[in-house]
């Protein structure tokens, strides 16, 4: 089993490292400091952070409700994660551009072909990822304990704030999962927010645009940044899991 995991990791590492054989080091270094690359990096970090805040704010109370038995809505809430991201993006695009309610909302939040659209797309796609671990964590809390806390007149926000410490490690893991998924989000973002250079250009969108225009050095620099970011997030996540264990 161990040999197999080393083999898969090795193959993936070979694929990643082989990228550096198709570009000169000086071209790569120049690309890493290119304004377009830095813009994509900044936009990705900021939008993913806002999306994570939004997702965790809503997912926390919703996961609590789902853990207490009212799970009829769960398939609907988890749908964006099971649908093709491009279908999620297209749904959002049509909603915001073709329906009266969506158009009214769009006139306020400017979702279509702009930065808020990226945040909406990232949040929609990554939201279900937060639900499952949080729901499982809440399920582990004894039903009688919750009743006892309520008996002290503590419910709603008070109850959730008391329970937070009990699910803190799962909350942190879920936040990292949402953040890494938001960083990687492409299909829904490109459909709703478009692929506009120096406007809606996140890291995955920048890879797509530069691959189309044939700028290999820039593509590899963007892939390198994406891989390093993902590795940092995943290592943190594994570290927290080990702490918990």
Partner 1 sequence: MIKVKDLVYGYKDLSFGPLSFEVNGTLAITGPNGSGKSSLLRALMGGIRSHGIIEVDGKIIQKGKKGLKPEKRPMVYVPQREPAIPFLTVEENLSLAGNIDEDLLEELGIKKYMKVKVSKLSGGLRKRVGIAMALVSKKKVVLLDEPLSGIDPESRKTLIDIIIKRTRGKDVLWVTHFDEVVRALDKALRLQPVKSSLS
Cβ atoms of residues 80 and 52 within 8 Å: no
Q: How far apart are CA 4 and CA 122, in angstroms?
A: 33
* Residue among 102 and 166 whose Cβ is closer to partner 1: 166
Q: Is the dihedral of CA 17, 217, 42, 178 positive or negative?
A: negative
Inter-CA distances, 25 with 12, 15, 77, 134, 245, Å: 21, 18, 46, 44, 42
Tell whether residue 145 is a contact of partner 1 (CB under 8 A). Answer: yes
Query: Shortest distance, CB of residue 133 to partner 1, whole angstroms?
Result: 17
Tell whether residue 143 is a contact of partner 1 (CB under 8 A). Answer: yes
Which one of 57-65, 73-81, 107-115, 146-154 is the stretch in contact with partner 1 (CB under 8 A)?
Answer: 146-154
Q: How far apart are CA 139 and CA 11, in angstroms?
A: 38
Tell whether residue 165 is a contact of partner 1 (CB under 8 A). Answer: yes
Inter-CA distances, 111 with 101, 178, 231, Å: 13, 20, 30
* Residue among 75 and 153 whose Cβ is closer to partner 1: 153
* Residue among 149 and 223 whose Cβ is closer to partner 1: 149
**Minimal CA–CA distance to 27: which of 217, 225, 231, 224?**
217
Tell whether residue 154 is a contact of partner 1 (CB under 8 A). Answer: yes
Q: Single out the residue of 11, 13, 16, 152 in contact with partner 1 (rule: CB under 8 A).
A: 152
Which one of 8-16, 43-51, 130-138, 145-153 is the stretch in contact with partner 1 (CB under 8 A)?
Answer: 145-153
Q: Single out the residue of 50, 53, 149, 216 in contact with partner 1 (rule: CB under 8 A).
A: 149
**Tokens linked to 236:** 């943190």
Which x/- pattern, by CB under 8 A, does the window 101-140 give for partner 1? Answer: ----------------------------------------
Q: How far apart are CA 14 and CA 202, in angstroms?
A: 26
Site size for partner 1 (CB under 8 A) = 17
Tell whether residue 150 is a contact of partner 1 (CB under 8 A). Answer: yes
* Residue among 20 and 155 whose Cβ is closer to partner 1: 155
Query: Shortest distance, CB of residue 143 to partner 1, whole angstroms?
Result: 7
The residues that touch partner 1, with contacts defined as CB under 8 A, are: 142-145, 147-155, 162, 165-166, 168
């Amino acid at each position: 089993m161990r040999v197999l995991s080393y083999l898969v990791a090795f193959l993936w590492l070979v694929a990643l490292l082989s990228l550096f054989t198709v570009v000169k080091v000086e071209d790569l270094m120049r690309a890493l400091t290119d304004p377009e690359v830095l813009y994509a990096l900044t936009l990705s970090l900021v939008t993913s952070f806002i999306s994570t805040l939004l997702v965790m704010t809503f997912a926390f109370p919703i996961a609590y409700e789902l853990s207490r038995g009212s799970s009829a809505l769960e398939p609907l809430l988890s749908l964006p994660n099971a649908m093709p991201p491009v279908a999620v993006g297209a749904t959002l695009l049509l909603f915001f551009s073709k329906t009266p309610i969506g158009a009214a909302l769009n006139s306020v939040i400017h979702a279509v072909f702009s930065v808020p659209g990226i945040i909406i797309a990232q949040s929609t796609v990554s939201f279900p990822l937060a639900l499952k671990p949080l729901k499982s964590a809440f399920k582990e809390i004894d039903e009688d304990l919750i009743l006892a806390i309520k008996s002290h007149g503590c419910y709603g926000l008070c109850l959730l704030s008391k329970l937070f410490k009990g699910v803190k490690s799962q909350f942190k893991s879920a936040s990292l999962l949402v953040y890494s998924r938001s960083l990687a989000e492409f299909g829904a973002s490109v459909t709703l927010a478009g692929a506009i250079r120096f406007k809606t250009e996140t890291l995955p969108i920048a890879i797509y645009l530069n691959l189309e225009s044939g700028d290999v050095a820039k593509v590899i620099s963007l892939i390198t940044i994406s891989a390093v970011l993902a590795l940092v997030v995943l290592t943190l996540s594994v570290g927290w899991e080990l702490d918990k264990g």
